[in-house]
Amino acid sequence: MEHTYLYETSRTLPSYGSFDTVVVGGGFAGVAAALSAEARKKQRFELTYAPASMILVMEELLLEAGVTLFYDTRFCALCVQDRMIRAVVVENKSGRGAICCMNVVDATGDADVCTLAGDATVESNKNVCAWWFYSETDGVLKLNRKTDNFYQITPEMPLYSGTKHEDVTALCIETRRRIREYTNAVRFGHSVGASEMSHDGSGVLAAVVQSRNQFPAILPSIPQYRMTRRVLTDYQLDESDNGRWFDDCVGLTGDWRKRGPRYCIPYRTICAKSMDNLLVAGRCISTTESGWDIMRVIPTCAVTGEAAGAACALAARSTKGNVHSINLSDLQQILTRQNVVMDRNLFV
């Protein structure tokens, strides 16, 4: 189909409110940023991770902190003046509108805000098919961890971009096709082809046990992407930065794949270059290719989200929203009071 372009007439947008900080994205990084911006994150919680329970707890914390939530709302555009984002344009059931702000945190996971702001980004089209789902057999739920091997990509594997709508649709369709075929193999003894196997080294074909009582119970609610697009700032954190201290540290993290490595996260990796009031949090912070897989996971997303939220709150109070002009020592003191670990002795 040939691409055509249509002209969209200009229009006056209603305001959906004015806030010091607008956080775009509602994952772990976004929640941490919103709570930190509201100066609510003064205690630590030790939790056993259960997705449904976590959603309920996070929403409760946000509401208690006075955070205004916008569900079923899509980020669309930016209103920019003098290197400052003045409003985030969104669309929802009420139509198209603007949320005015002093600063913004891009916690989309895909660097969507940074992309529209004009920041340099890097995209990945090497996402494999992941099709985790819950099945139910005689009233018992089981999590089926099914995925192609991200670390051993072969020529026959389908690969997907997370920033092209055609690929997102294709991944969703392929995910469900594999769930259907795997379930049929379990229930009726059908053969399972190579593309329907899980490439986790467990020998899935031999592990398929016939059970006519097994049915899919909970399907993936979102496309299961690992890494889609990340921003490039003044510093890109690399796997080789293990054990290296940065004076602009805003938090620490490890390597989820193995014990031992420790990483200091510099403020520069979350500070977008295009705008003076834009920060980044979560899996789209500034890294190299090798650092991306380390920094994309939940614990690091929470650390960068908390740092970004605290920085935005500080900027709203002291620099009229400019996150490049804040006193970094003040930010580090705020994060320390919030029990963020920033121990230089760990890097001696």
Query: Which tens digit of pLDDT belongs to each residue from 209-230?
Result: 557 788 999 999 899 999 999 9
> Higher model confidence: residue 20 or residue 10?
20
pLDDT at 305: 97
Q: How confident is the model at residue 44 (pLDDT cuts 50, 70, 90)?
A: low
Helix, strand, or coil (residue 75) = strand
3-state helix, strand, coil in the chain (%, to 5): 30, 25, 45
**Is residue 347 one of the residues assigned to a domain?**
no
For the entire predicted model, the pTM comes to: 0.91
Indicate if 244 and 116 belong to the same structural domain.
Answer: yes
**Is residue 4 one of the residues assigned to a domain?**
no
**Is residue 1 one of the residues assigned to a domain?**
no
Query: Do 86 and 100 touch, CB atoms closer than 8 A?
Result: yes
179-207 mean pLDDT: 62
Indicate if 61 and 105 belong to the same structural domain.
Answer: yes
Query: Which tens digit of pLDDT belongs to each residue from 313-331?
Result: 999 999 999 999 999 999 9
Number of domains in the chain: 2
pLDDT at 195: 47
pLDDT at 245: 97
**Is 70 exceeded by the pLDDT of residue 20?**
yes
**Is residue 6 one of the residues assigned to a domain?**
no
Chain mean pLDDT for the chain: 90
Where in the sequence is the domain holding 204, given as residue range(s)?
A: 133-218
**Is residue 59 one of the residues assigned to a domain?**
yes
Indicate if 145 and 115 belong to the same structural domain.
Answer: no
Which of 172, 195, 218 represents a domain boundary (last residue)?
218
**Is 90 exceeded by the pLDDT of residue 87?**
yes
Query: Do 19 and 68 touch, CB atoms closer than 8 A?
Result: yes
Indicate if 110 and 149 belong to the same structural domain.
Answer: no
**Is residue 10 one of the residues assigned to a domain?**
no
* CA-CA-CA-CA torsion sign (330, 334, 340, 346): positive
Of 85-89, 202-206, 257-261, least confident by mean pLDDT is: 202-206
Q: How confident is the model at residue 127 (pLDDT cuts 50, 70, 90)?
A: very high
Q: How confident is the model at residue 194 (pLDDT cuts 50, 70, 90)?
A: very low
pLDDT at 191: 54
Query: Which tens digit of pLDDT belongs to each residue from 156-179?
Result: 999 999 999 999 999 999 999 999
Selection from 65, 103, 97 nearest residue 324 by Cα? 103
Query: Do 23 and 30 touch, CB atoms closer than 8 A?
Result: yes
**Is residue 40 one of the residues assigned to a domain?**
yes
> Higher model confidence: residue 205 or residue 239?
239
Q: How many residues does the chain have?
A: 348
**Is 90 exceeded by the pLDDT of residue 199?**
no
Q: What is the CATH number of the domain that holds 232?
A: 3.50.50.60
Indicate if 137 and 118 belong to the same structural domain.
Answer: no
Q: How confident is the model at residue 193 (pLDDT cuts 50, 70, 90)?
A: low
**Is 90 exceeded by the pLDDT of residue 14?**
yes
Residue 263, token pair as written in the block: 């990483």
Query: Which tens digit of pLDDT belongs to each residue from 244-276?
Result: 999 999 999 999 999 999 999 999 999 999 999
Query: How far, in Å, CA of 298 to CA of 342, rounded?
Result: 18
**Is residue 290 one of the residues assigned to a domain?**
yes
Indicate if 150 and 68 belong to the same structural domain.
Answer: no
